[in-house]
Chain A
Amino acid sequence: MGLSKLNLLYKETVLDHSQHPRHHGQLPDATAHLELRNPTCGDVIDVQAQIEDDKIIDLSFDGVGCTISQASASMMTVALIGQSVKRARELITDFSKLTIGDEISDQADEELGDAAILGTVAQFPARIKCAALPWHALDELLEKREVEKND
């Protein structure tokens, strides 16, 4: 089989997102940002968000990482811009499920869009962390924001 299995992980859409990342760089009107590291490889991602009235107005990301983490971040921004904070967190959970090979609803699959394609990472256990890193960063950012709001 050899390298042909790589096609499962590095689909055209994934390579496109990593080579031409959407919403990459600084977000001038960001209301919050969160930096997360993958201690096993040293990758670092900084997710920036503009949130108003519990709605994600805009997202961006910056940092260094592998094809999978960069593509995943790009796909995440596309999927979650415009979502309510509540729905975004639900979709983050759905994405997590996909990466460990669990089923999700058709509705969630559709809303995740390109990101749902990364579900094939479930067949590459060593790379699940790479795909999950940006989503964990955003989830932590949203979690912090809620804690601060309730304080």
Chain B
Amino acid sequence: MDNGLNNTRKDFKILDQIVNDEPFVYLDNAATTQKPAAVLQSIINYYEHDNANVHRGVHTLAERATADFEAARDKVAAFINAPSRKTIVYTRSTTESLNWIASSFGNMVVEAGDEIVISQMEHHSNVVPWQQIAAKKHAVLKYIDLTADGELDMDHARQQITPKTKIVSIAHASNVMGVVNPIKELAKLAHANGAYMIGDGAQSTPHLPVDVQDLDVDFYALSGHKMLAPTGIGVLYGKQELLEAMPPVQFGGEMIDFVHHQNASWKELPWKFEAGTPNISGAIALGSAIDYLNDLGMQNIHAYEQELVNYTLPKLLDIEGLTVYGPHDPAKHTGVLAFNLDDLHPHDVASGLDMEGIAVRAGHHCAQPLMEYLDVAATARASFYFYNTKEDADRLVNSIQAVKEFFANGTI
């Protein structure tokens, strides 16, 4: 029996259950991943032994909580090869990170007539904050189109990114098209035009080795819950000099250096951005998730998922009437498989798969501009993580066949 990469399935108790009378198959990892026992235990350990507020007390538990909270920050920094803990700001999520970049850094650097360049495959969290700042600053929001294959069209990128461009913000990996975008090349293009490069790492950091210095991004955003950690913890990475220049978004306790009656000064990086009591247990659990991922090795995770895609994608493409979005060459496709079946609405397909115990996403995936671009209302989406197996893939393929027959015959 196949038990996921390095037999990891046993660490995820949630996967071992019956849903709608069938063994559960979880294929909604692009939405959020499951949490291994070690990560859950790190939360319990923290609350049973070390719970105290950070950066405030002189007592022993406050020291321990602070040390663990900051140790997790160092783990994040090492995980994405950031140069120092100063460049790692805790946030709630990728969405919050991108919002802060847009509303604070964007507000500082974007001027009337400037261009902000994103792509057709961005998540709403990398679209709407830029719409807001573009409207406020009378800047122009431009989109890079996709190739017929569903990859980012780099020729079009070279046309869209111009000396008027101030910001380029692109998903490192797409949550719909199943492609990894050439962020390093885009960063070169952006910098050659005097623009700043932002990478949305929500879908890449959980699945690929990420090196922010090699990518040479100015900012990078990621979410803990898509990489084994709980919801409510995210990260904003920024180059130190840019974070120094960027004003804080929230004000209050923790982030101040000294407060007078009429004014205040900020703490040094990264704490000047972290107002109020942070998500301490979330940060510590993120550190534990990173330990778990490092034990497996990001290169191994990437290779294992690629093997699952090599196995699954041709089987999906063999189903008559099934459309898979993004490249059909498995070597170019990540473990995010968005599809539609005949004229069936993806909600009907997803309800059918749910009855077979299989969890997939159906909808617009928070990418309505992309749905409009692809000229579909919505899609279904199966997405893998390292604990999925070829058996899971077989269940998916067979169940899609069964759902297709059900709707063709009106019954089974």
CB atoms of A67 and B378 under 8 A apart: no
Find residues 353-372 in chain B having any chain A CB closer than 8 Å to their own CB.
354-357, 362-364, 368, 371
User: Given A41-B362, A41-B363, are A7 and B412 neighbors across the interface (CB < 8 Å)?
Assistant: yes
Q: How far is the CB of A71 from chain B (nearest CB, A)?
A: 11
Q: Per-residue CB proximity of B371-384 to A under 8 Å, as 1/0?
A: 10000011000000
CA distance A4 to B406 in the complex (A): 9
A1, A15, A65, A130: the one contacting B20 at CB < 8 Å is: A1
CB atoms of B377 and A3 under 8 A apart: no
Give the interface size bracket for B toward A. Answer: 20 to 34
Q: Per-residue CB proximity of B385-412 to A under 8 Å, as 1/0?
A: 0000000000000010011001100111
A4, A41, A127, A130: the one contacting B364 at CB < 8 Å is: A41
CB atoms of B377 and A64 under 8 A apart: yes
CB atoms of B406 and A3 under 8 A apart: yes
CB atoms of A6 and B364 under 8 A apart: no
CB atoms of A3 and B402 under 8 A apart: yes
List A contacts of B352 (CB < 8 A). 3, 6
User: Given A3-B355, A5-B20, A42-B363, are A68 and B377 neighbors across the interface (CB < 8 Å)?
Assistant: no
List B contacts of A126 (CB < 8 A). 351, 354
Find residues 105-136 in chain A having any chain B CB closer than 8 Å to their own CB.
124, 126-127, 130
Does A53 lie at the interface of the complex (its beta carbon under 8 Å from any beta carbon of B)?
no
Does B22 lie at the interface of the complex (its beta carbon under 8 Å from any beta carbon of A)?
yes
CB atoms of B363 and A40 under 8 A apart: yes
Residue of B at shortest CB range from A15? Answer: B410
Does B347 lie at the interface of the complex (its beta carbon under 8 Å from any beta carbon of A)?
yes
List A contacts of B185 (CB < 8 A). none
A6, A67, A68, A130: the one contacting B355 at CB < 8 Å is: A6
List B contacts of A43 (CB < 8 A). 347, 377-378
Total of A-B residue pairs, C-beta within 8 Å: 76
CA distance A12 to B411 in the complex (A): 8
CA distance A32 to B376 in the complex (A): 28
Does A2 lie at the interface of the complex (its beta carbon under 8 Å from any beta carbon of B)?
yes
List A contacts of B20 (CB < 8 A). 1-2, 5
CB atoms of B363 and A6 under 8 A apart: no
CB atoms of A3 and B354 under 8 A apart: no
Q: How far is the CB of B121 from chain A (nearest CB, A)?
A: 16
User: Given A66-B345, A67-B345, are A9 and B363 neighbors across the interface (CB < 8 Å)?
Assistant: no
B346, B368, B410: the one contacting A10 at CB < 8 Å is: B410
Residue of A at shortest CB range from B363? Answer: A41
Q: How far is the CB of A6 from chain B (nearest CB, A)?
A: 5
List B contacts of A124 (CB < 8 A). 351
Q: How far is the CB of A28 from chain B (nearest CB, A)?
A: 26
Query: What is the interface of chain B, defined by CB distance below 8 A to chain A?
Result: 20-22, 344-348, 351-352, 354-357, 362-364, 368, 371, 377-378, 399, 402-403, 406-407, 410-412
**Nearest 10 CB-CB pairs, A to B?**
A66-B345, A1-B21, A66-B347, A42-B364, A41-B363, A64-B377, A67-B348, A15-B410, A5-B355, A66-B348
- List 11 extra interface pairs beyond A1-B22, A5-B20, A7-B411, CB under 8 A: A1-B20, A3-B406, A6-B355, A40-B363, A41-B364, A42-B364, A42-B371, A64-B377, A67-B344, A68-B348, A124-B351
